[in-house]
Chains A and B, each alone.
Chain A
Amino acid sequence: MSEPEILRFENVSLRFEDTPALDQVSFRMIPGETVIIYGAAGSGKTTLLKTALGLLKPDSGRIYVFGEDVTNFTEPQWFPLRARMGILFQEGGLFDSMTIAENVAYPLLNSVAARASNQRGEVEEKVRQALRFVDLEQTLDKFPSELSGGMRRRVGIARAIVTEPRLVLYDSPTAGLDPITAYTIISLILKERDTLNASALLVTHRFQDGHLMAKFRYNPSSGQIEAASQNGGNAARTRFFVMNQGRLVFEGSLAELAAAKDPYVKKFAK
């Protein structure tokens, strides 16, 4: 345990009535690492993300975020921690009564941490910067309902990264999108990972998403996605998990995933 941890689960279990949503889940993430979680619908991927964010409380086990034991944290204790994390919800999770600018500015203006620190200056510039990052600066005054599904996810990414969090959680960012838009979204996540060096926990059921994250990198000078070298960089620090019925049934690299023999795990390897 030489490197500092950013997230650790120790035998975490959670049941919804009689159904196990998480079953003895254990793993750890270090700064700069990308973890891709594959799994069928209902396998517990989103539950894992929500538990990592403190939106759900585990029945048993222990959770550590940024080295702090948060298992028994109360809601107010979570607020400063969540300010250091970013989340992209499956459908974007945007506030439909707010404009895009207000949505992206939300964590800067409304979080308990932002209010306590009273650092509300430069909000407009930060919002523009985040929207420029996802190439949507022209949508500042629009409402979420005026945008397409892919654009809403891109705004969601802008909102997730506007506070420059150390850990970003992505809940099925490409679900329900056409292949071109899905590629755009993953490219933005790659760009975010390689420019801000944040750790990422990405839940998906599409093999291509994980493959891109593990094999490609963002080149800041060309502004393009290109094949990553095998020797280092964030792409090489990508690990893969596979979940089935609340259990973590696989943990390893892309090569190990490709070589997996388990019939369930193999389904996510191509």
Chain B
Amino acid sequence: MRNVFRSPHYGDDILIQMDVIGFGSLLIVMLIGLFSGLIMGQQMARALRTYGAIGQIGYVVSVALIRELGPVLVALLVAGRNASGIASELGSMKVTEQIDAMRALGTDPIQKLVTPRLIATAVTLPLLTIIADFLGLVGGYIIAHFQFAVPFSQYWVPAYQNLAYADVAEGTVKPFAFAIIIALVGCFYGMRTTGGTEGVGRATTRAVVVSSIWIFVTTYFIGAIFINMR
């Protein structure tokens, strides 16, 4: 982690990685966000209507999405897309001696390869999560309004007013933690790749599996901390 603050800084590499990880995941994150909101709205509205609480649909969707579903779904998506991408890219470089070449040419591979990916993921994942959360809320509203005739203000006012600062904090801390997990796990397995192309495949699979598991474990513990703080 201390490499983040150590010179030299490869700013151009950070921008390239932000483009690959952030902008490259944008469309799919928007789709996932929108459809998770549509699905939640659909399922929750039926249950809430049974108890005559359809007016709470905005609150339920916003809390579930912002606290938990948005960060976890986006992180899993980015893990599948980018932890694997990072592991396979660095793994291929490792087995073809490009990382040794980098060291031999006087470049620190941690500074050049790991730090830009870590910073880029840490910056873009929270932003992607915010976009997914917003589109999820829009999806929930589409279902609530067009299928269950919930008026605009009845959906959006509780969705906004009942959100506590702790909910927003939880929804921001989680993607930041997940970003560190995704980038470091992807880089770790990539840089440790051995065994040629088969090894690259193994590293890629492990990066996705391990980062996904850590995302679930971490979300539980961060959730537990925030619940105890309330």
- A residues near B (Cβ < 8 Å) are 50, 53-55, 75-76, 78-80, 82-83, 85, 87, 89, 91, 93-96, 106-107, 110-116, 159
> Top 8 nearest A-B pairs by Cβ distance?
A111-B106, A115-B8, A93-B101, A83-B106, A82-B106, A107-B105, A87-B104, A79-B106
Q: Is B10 an interface residue (CB 8 A)?
A: yes
Contacts of A111 in B (CB 8 A): 105-107
Cβ contacts under 8 Å, A112 to chain B: 8, 106-108, 111
Cross-chain contact of A106 among B7, B96, B105 (Cβ < 8 A)? B105
CB distance from B17 to the nearest CB of A (A): 13
Q: Are A113 and B106 in contact (CB under 8 A)?
A: yes
Determine whether the beta carbon of A76 is less than 8 Å from that of B108.
yes
Tell me which residues across on chain A come within 8 A of B105, comparing CB atoms: 82, 87, 106-107, 110-111, 159
Residues of B within 8 A of A110 (CB): 10, 105, 107, 112
A106 to B153, CA, bound (A): 58
Alpha-carbon distance A106/B10, docked complex (angstroms): 13
Which residue of B97, B106, B112 has the most chain A CB atoms within 10 A of its CB atom? B106
Cβ–Cβ contact B103 & A93, under 8 A: no
| Smallest CB separation, B109 vs chain A (Å) | 9
Q: B3 → chain A, closest Cβ, in Å?
A: 10
Docked Cα-Cα span, A55 to B102, in Å, equals: 10
Q: Which chain B residues in 160-179 approach chain A with CB under 8 Å?
A: none
Q: List 12 A-B contacts (CB under 8 A).
A: A50-B100, A53-B103, A54-B103, A82-B105, A85-B104, A91-B96, A96-B98, A106-B105, A111-B107, A115-B7, A115-B8, A116-B7
Q: How far is the CA of A143 from the CA of B96 in the complex (A)?
A: 16
**How many A-B pairs fall under 8 Å by CB?**
67
List chain A residues, Cβ under 8 A from B10: 110
Given A110-B10, A115-B8, A116-B7, residue A93 in contact with residue B107 (CB < 8 A): no
Mask, B80-119, CB within 8 Å of A = 1, is 0000000000000100111011111111100110000000
Which chain B residues lie closer than 8 Å to A87 at the CB level? 101, 104-105
A114 contacts B108, C-beta separation under 8 Å: no
Within 8 A of A (CB), among B1-39: 7-8, 10
Asked whether B103 lies within 8 Å of A75 as measured between CB atoms, the reply is: yes
Given A75-B108, A79-B106, A111-B106; A116-B101 close (CB under 8 Å): no
Contact partners of B111 in chain A: CB under 8 A: 112
Report whether B97 and A89 are in contact in the complex, using a CB–CB cutoff of 8 Å. yes
In the complex, are the beta carbons of B103 and A82 less than 8 A apart? Answer: yes
Once the chains bind, are A89 and B101 in contact (CB under 8 Å)?
yes
By a CB distance below 8 angstroms, the chain A residues around B98 are: 93-96
Name the contact of B104 in the complex, choosing from A53, A80, A113, A114 (C-beta under 8 A).
A53
In the complex, besides A95-B98, A112-B8, 13 extra interface pairs with C-beta distance below 8 angstroms are A53-B104, A55-B100, A75-B108, A80-B106, A89-B104, A93-B98, A93-B101, A94-B98, A94-B101, A95-B102, A110-B10, A110-B107, A116-B8
* Contact present for B107 and A91 (CB under 8 Å): no
In the bound complex, CA of A78 to CA of B106 (Å): 8
Output the nearest chain A residue to B13 by Cβ-Cβ distance.
Answer: A110
Taking the nearest CB of chain B, how far is it from the CB of A230, in angstroms? 35
B106 and A55: CB pair below 8 A?
no
Which residues of chain A are near B106, meaning CB under 8 Å? 79-80, 82-83, 107, 111-114
**Contact partners of B8 in chain A: CB under 8 A:** 112, 115-116
Do A55 and B103 touch across chains, with their CB atoms under 8 A apart? yes
* Chain B residues in 8 Å Cβ range of A91: 96-97
> How far, in whole Å, are A94 and B105 apart by their CA atoms in the complex?
11
B7 touches A55 (CB 8 A): no
The interface bits of chain B over 148-163 (1 if a CB of A lies within 8 angstroms of the residue's CB, else 0) are: 0000000000000000
Residues of B within 8 A of A75 (CB): 103, 108
Residue picked from B100, B107, B108, most chain A C-beta under 10 Å: B107
Give the distance in Å from the alpha carbon of A53 to the alpha carbon of B100 in the complex: 10
Complex alpha-carbon distance, A55 and B108, angstroms: 12
